[in-house]
A and B are shown apart, each in its own frame.
Chain A
Amino acid sequence: MTSDNLAFYSLVAIYSAMGVYLFAFIAFTLDLARRSAAAPAVAEAIPAARVGQLTSAGSVTTIERPLVAEVPPAGRASSRFERVAYALTALGWVLHAAGTVLRGVAAHRVPWANMFEFSLTASAIIVGVFVFVQVWQNLKWLGAYITGFALIVLGFGTVGFYVNVVPLPPALQSYWLVIHVFVASLGTAFFAIGAGLSLAQLVQVRREANRFSGLTFLDTVPNAEKLENLAYRVIVVGFVFWTFTLIAGAIWAEHAWGRYWGWDTKEVWTFIIWTIFAGYIHARATRGWRGSRSSWLAIVGFGAVMFNFTIVNLFFKGLHTYSGL
């Protein structure tokens, strides 16, 4: 099969993935609507005490065990919409990943050397993290946000940024391309999920404060504090990846351009993003900055990531001219 053929099949797979994501998005949205209708009216009671027994060498001992464990998440069976949406997302992701890999095969290199390819890879990683993070935490209610986001990225990627397979210019011929850009995509994925959780936290805080009536589906997602903690845990992982991206980028810049740091526009923005998230982590340890303010920082930080990827790549002048457009 020729390289052009492979690139074509890759695109077919990506378009199919987009179709499947669209249905997943609709199903996730319907699920949210259903949650609004079926949200439990009263908070479930906290079990005050539980009695257990310790059995020792034959004889039975009665013990007391007051449990002050955290409130169990709203006990709610997953709706059919949610199950369908999740299955569709997983299917879409397989197509998406296949399309991305095919693109790499067509180009004989990693599929993240220009903006089109980077949008495929980064969004595949975002959806992949979402699909697999469910093992750790049930965050399926973020599905509409994630699939919607992936659709937008892929839409811009295929329509706005598409370029044919071209060989790498000498400056990009480095294994640092593989490491630096891949880890940057991983960081982006975690920041994206963190921003989604922070957004939910902001809305949840307002609901909890004055219990405005709309958006009842939020009764079925964790409370604001839990959301904030989840966001933090996801974002610090992203921050570690981002720190690594920064260091790896500096090493690569040293190899290719003869200096490890030169305040090139892309370097500037990577630094800005890093500093915002360092601020976010600090905010969580600063009195008066936990809660909504730190959520805002997480959202602004992710906004800067998106800005860096789109506006900076397309309109700012600098050495990182790899958009391929």
Chain B
Amino acid sequence: MGYLRFFWRQLTSMRTALFLLLLLAIAAVPGSLFPQRSSDPNGVSLYFTNNKDLAPVLDKLQLFDVYSSAWFSAIYLLLFISLIGCVIPRTAFHLKALRSKPPRTPARLDRLAAFSAFEIAPGQLDAASAPITATSTVEAARQNLRKSGYRVQLFENRGPDGPEFSVSAERGYLRETGNLIFHTALIGILLAVGIGGGFGYTGQKVLVVGQAFANVRISFDSFNPGRFFNDNQLQPYRLVVDDFTAKYEKENLNAFGQPIDYTLKVTTYEGSGGAKKQVLKVNSPLEIGGNQVYLLGNGYAPFVTVKDPTGKVVFSEKVPFLPQDANLTSLGIVKIADGLSSQVGMRALLYPTAVKDSAGASASNNPDLYNPELALVVYKGDLGIDKGVPTSSYSLNTDKMTEIAGPGIDAATIRLKPGETATIPGGLGSVTFENAAPKSDAKNLQLSVPRFVSLDVHRDPTQGWVLFFAILVLGGLLTSLFIPRRRVWVKVIEASDGRLRLEYAGLARGEDPGLDAAVADIAARHSQQLGLKLTS
């Protein structure tokens, strides 16, 4: 029991809080040095490939999941336990202080900050020609302090030099209130973040222009539910991608080809509301069905058709390609499992504006479609997708396949412009790079390749609470840092010969650079009120 109390007292001490805060700052650093699974999963895979020996060790130390690691969690949980243990007694104490009167005036004020004293000779008259007495003087001080927002209390007792009358005054309770709100709101943020993570979800969906999406779990490409999620939380709605335009800089040569605008037009259907046309941009997500839908990425989805030797269509799809660089050189995979005499896989690169670099290799020098070209390396054999093992649609396993068109063999890489068709070597059939807008001007290929967008769908039920607590944090901080808390005393000592001695003093509670000035001001206003003028 004694140990427990000792431990608790240590944990909730200011020194421990400081230590844990600094430790938290240090513990956060490794997360910026190593790629994190949460924000950069590809970076983690790459790290594993490049550092075969080191990576597993780092992984054991949870350095790829710093912010959910045991050690990071331990630090912030201890810090917040310390915080709770610190805030609760302080709140109780403060609530009592709010209801209690200012404390008794100290016997000796001259040891305190901003002390000053004056003497008034006997028999003086104040501004209203009334005699100045000890009680009238103290009463004037009381009114004065009350008007300046102090809480006041009168005291009377016998001092060594005669009867003493005093006002004890305190102000700035809001400082502590603000401090407590600040710290409590920090706990609020942590709770809201934790709960939101448990009940929320995020999902990703890639949609080619023209495609639709319904808000059910199976229609997402990937879906990450929180711990307490259940499917009923998905509100029904549907969304159709009508149009997507990407604008690239054309005039400023310093930024030629740099994206300057992405606009996505969708039609949404929600409840019985009917169709609604809406626009999404990068910084303006769509709010629908308790979700926010974000436009996070986009790229090209070349329209590819494959026919067997008799001319029968075995594949005809707009295939989303992954952008590889700023000029949108894009990589895509086409897999034909059925319909041809052998399974066929194609690894394709799209160059939106194809050029040959000095070494003769293809490249793209603009993200827009000025000279689109599709380069296909073709394999035949076993795609390895029949065994029920899930495979990524963005990778092609060629272990059991042979290259039938591409670099290093007789049949060269197939290169197609929109609308062109080539035969697949080995009499397997033909492949066509469809022009998605064949009717537009033959020279203008801007619309020849369809585009896709990748959407992030989020639900975070406590996001509003996090913001609410964050605003409290800021408000609490402002009040607690800039409202001074101070005690001020005015004492009048009545000497036996009728002289009145006035004493003023203050006490800072916490940081208070303005204390001296404030006490001087109180003294000045007091003497003014009494009709006395300081002529020093």
- Shortest distance in angstroms between A267's beta carbon and chain B's nearest beta carbon? 9
- Shortest distance in angstroms between B206's beta carbon and chain A's nearest beta carbon? 15
Contact of A275 among B28, B38, B285, B536 (CB under 8 A): B28
**Closest chain B residue to A230 by CB distance?**
B513
Enumerate chain A residues within 8 angstroms of B260, measured Cβ to Cβ.
167-170
Enumerate chain B residues within 8 angstroms of A278, measured Cβ to Cβ.
21
Complex Cα distance, B252 from A164, in Å, reads: 10
Enumerate chain A residues within 8 angstroms of B36, measured Cβ to Cβ.
263
Contact A166 B39 (CB under 8 A): no
Contact B118 A279 (CB under 8 A): no
Contact A63 B120 (CB under 8 A): yes
Does B463 reach chain A (CB closer than 8 Å)?
A: yes
Contact A170 B38 (CB under 8 A): no
Looking at A34-42, A67-75, A84-92, A205-213, the stretch in contact with chain B turns out to be A67-75
Contact B294 A257 (CB under 8 A): yes
Chain B residues numbered 274-307 whose CB sits less than 8 Å from any CB in chain A: 281-285, 292, 294, 296
Does A55 reach chain B (CB closer than 8 Å)?
A: yes
Complex Cα distance, B535 from A279, in Å, reads: 47
Contact A258 B285 (CB under 8 A): yes
Complex Cα distance, B281 from A70, in Å, reads: 59
Looking at A25-33, A96-104, A284-292, the stretch in contact with chain B turns out to be A284-292
Contact B282 A51 (CB under 8 A): no
Knowing A167-B249, A247-B474 touch, does A54 contact B534 (C-beta < 8 A)? yes
Contact B25 A258 (CB under 8 A): no
Enumerate chain B residues within 8 angstroms of A271, measured Cβ to Cβ.
28
Complex Cα distance, B463 from A239, in Å, reads: 24
Contact A56 B25 (CB under 8 A): no
A interface residues, how many (CB within 8 angstroms): 77
Contact A285 B35 (CB under 8 A): no
**Closest chain A residue to B20 by CB distance?**
A279
Does A64 reach chain B (CB closer than 8 Å)?
A: yes
Enumerate chain A residues within 8 angstroms of B39, measured Cβ to Cβ.
262-264, 318-319
- Shortest distance in angstroms between B363's beta carbon and chain A's nearest beta carbon? 22
Does B533 reach chain A (CB closer than 8 Å)?
A: yes
Enumerate chain B residues within 8 angstroms of A256, measured Cβ to Cβ.
282-283
Chain B residues numbered 18-45 whose CB sits less than 8 Å from any CB in chain A: 18, 21-22, 24-25, 28-29, 31-32, 35-36, 38-40, 43
Contact A258 B21 (CB under 8 A): no
Contact B119 A64 (CB under 8 A): yes
- Shortest distance in angstroms between B97's beta carbon and chain A's nearest beta carbon? 18
Contact A275 B24 (CB under 8 A): yes
Does B384 reach chain A (CB closer than 8 Å)?
A: no
Contact with A along B520-531 (1 / 0, CB 8 A): 000000010011
Complex Cα distance, B176 from A167, in Å, reads: 47
Does A259 reach chain B (CB closer than 8 Å)?
A: yes
Enumerate chain A residues within 8 angstroms of B470, measured Cβ to Cβ.
247, 250
Does B51 reach chain A (CB closer than 8 Å)?
A: no
Most chain-B Cβ atoms within 10 A of its Cβ — which of A169, A240, A244, A288? A169
Contact of B258 among A167, A265, A285, A312 (CB under 8 A): A167
Does A79 reach chain B (CB closer than 8 Å)?
A: no
Does A1 reach chain B (CB closer than 8 Å)?
A: no
Contact B466 A260 (CB under 8 A): yes
- Shortest distance in angstroms between B67's beta carbon and chain A's nearest beta carbon? 5
Chain A residues numbered 47-83 whose CB sits less than 8 Å from any CB in chain B: 50-57, 59, 61-70
- Shortest distance in angstroms between A201's beta carbon and chain B's nearest beta carbon? 16
Complex Cα distance, B117 from A170, in Å, reads: 67
Complex Cα distance, B256 from A164, in Å, reads: 12
Knowing A63-B119, A316-B32 touch, does A243 contact B474 (C-beta < 8 A)? yes
Complex Cα distance, B249 from A49, in Å, reads: 75
- Shortest distance in angstroms between A150's beta carbon and chain B's nearest beta carbon? 27
Contact B536 A240 (CB under 8 A): no
Knowing A167-B249, A169-B259 touch, does A279 contact B531 (C-beta < 8 A)? no
Does B422 reach chain A (CB closer than 8 Å)?
A: no
- Shortest distance in angstroms between A99's beta carbon and chain B's nearest beta carbon? 19
**Closest chain B residue to A52 by CB distance?**
B536
Does A272 reach chain B (CB closer than 8 Å)?
A: yes
Looking at B122-130, B139-147, B438-446, the stretch in contact with chain A turns out to be B122-130
Does B15 reach chain A (CB closer than 8 Å)?
A: yes
Contact B22 A276 (CB under 8 A): yes
Does A203 reach chain B (CB closer than 8 Å)?
A: no
Enumerate chain A residues within 8 angstroms of B510, measured Cβ to Cβ.
285
Does A310 reach chain B (CB closer than 8 Å)?
A: no
Knowing A56-B530, A70-B516, A171-B283 touch, does A263 contact B38 (C-beta < 8 A)? yes
Does B209 reach chain A (CB closer than 8 Å)?
A: no
Chain B residues numbered 466-485 whose CB sits less than 8 Å from any CB in chain A: 466-467, 470-471, 473-474, 477-478, 481
Enumerate chain B residues within 8 angstroms of A62, measured Cβ to Cβ.
119, 121
Does B261 reach chain A (CB closer than 8 Å)?
A: yes
Does B50 reach chain A (CB closer than 8 Å)?
A: no
Enumerate chain B residues within 8 angstroms of A174, measured Cβ to Cβ.
283
Enumerate chain A residues within 8 angstroms of B496, measured Cβ to Cβ.
none
Chain B residues numbered 229-270 whose CB sits less than 8 Å from any CB in chain A: 249, 252, 254-255, 258-262
Complex Cα distance, B251 from A3, in Å, reads: 12
Does B115 reach chain A (CB closer than 8 Å)?
A: yes
Contact A170 B283 (CB under 8 A): yes
Does B17 reach chain A (CB closer than 8 Å)?
A: yes
Does B116 reach chain A (CB closer than 8 Å)?
A: yes
Most chain-A Cβ atoms within 10 A of its Cβ — which of B15, B18, B127, B261? B18
Enumerate chain B residues within 8 angstroms of A239, measured Cβ to Cβ.
477, 481
Enumerate chain B residues within 8 angstroms of A268, measured Cβ to Cβ.
28-29, 31-32
Enumerate chain B residues within 8 angstroms of A70, measured Cβ to Cβ.
516
Contact B258 A166 (CB under 8 A): yes
Enumerate chain B residues within 8 angstroms of A50, measured Cβ to Cβ.
536
Contact A165 B254 (CB under 8 A): yes
Complex Cα distance, B530 from A54, in Å, reads: 10
Does B532 reach chain A (CB closer than 8 Å)?
A: yes
Enumerate chain A residues within 8 angstroms of B126, measured Cβ to Cβ.
56-57
Enumerate chain A residues within 8 angstroms of B24, measured Cβ to Cβ.
275
Chain B residues numbered 107-166 whose CB sits less than 8 Å from any CB in chain A: 110, 114-121, 124-127, 129, 132
- Shortest distance in angstroms between A27's beta carbon and chain B's nearest beta carbon? 30
Does B202 reach chain A (CB closer than 8 Å)?
A: yes
Complex Cα distance, B481 from A260, in Å, reads: 26
Knowing A166-B252, A251-B467 touch, does A243 contact B516 (C-beta < 8 A)? no
Chain A residues numbered 274-311 whose CB sits less than 8 Å from any CB in chain B: 275-276, 278-279, 282-289, 297
- Shortest distance in angstroms between B40's beta carbon and chain A's nearest beta carbon? 7
Complex Cα distance, B460 from A171, in Å, reads: 21
Does B458 reach chain A (CB closer than 8 Å)?
A: yes
- Shortest distance in angstroms between A17's beta carbon and chain B's nearest beta carbon? 24
Does B95 reach chain A (CB closer than 8 Å)?
A: no
- Shortest distance in angstroms between A44's beta carbon and chain B's nearest beta carbon? 18
- Shortest distance in angstroms between B399's beta carbon and chain A's nearest beta carbon? 31
| 26 A-B contact pairs sorted by A residue (CB < 8 Å) | A52-B536, A54-B118, A56-B126, A56-B532, A57-B125, A57-B129, A62-B121, A165-B254, A166-B258, A167-B258, A169-B260, A170-B259, A170-B260, A174-B283, A240-B477, A243-B474, A247-B474, A255-B284, A255-B285, A260-B466, A268-B31, A268-B32, A275-B21, A283-B18, A317-B40, A317-B43
Which of B's residues lie within 8 Å of A, judged by CB? 14-15, 17-18, 21-22, 24-25, 28-29, 31-32, 35-36, 38-40, 43, 66-67, 110, 114-121, 124-127, 129, 132, 193, 202, 249, 252, 254-255, 258-262, 281-285, 292, 294, 296, 456, 458, 460, 463, 466-467, 470-471, 473-474, 477-478, 481, 510-511, 513, 516, 527, 530-536
Query: In the complex, given contacts A57-B127, A258-B285, what are 5 additional A-B residue pairs having Cβ atoms less than 8 angstroms apart?
Result: A53-B536, A164-B254, A166-B255, A167-B258, A275-B22
5 nearest A-B pairs in the assembled complex, by CB-CB distance: A52-B536, A166-B255, A164-B254, A258-B294, A170-B282
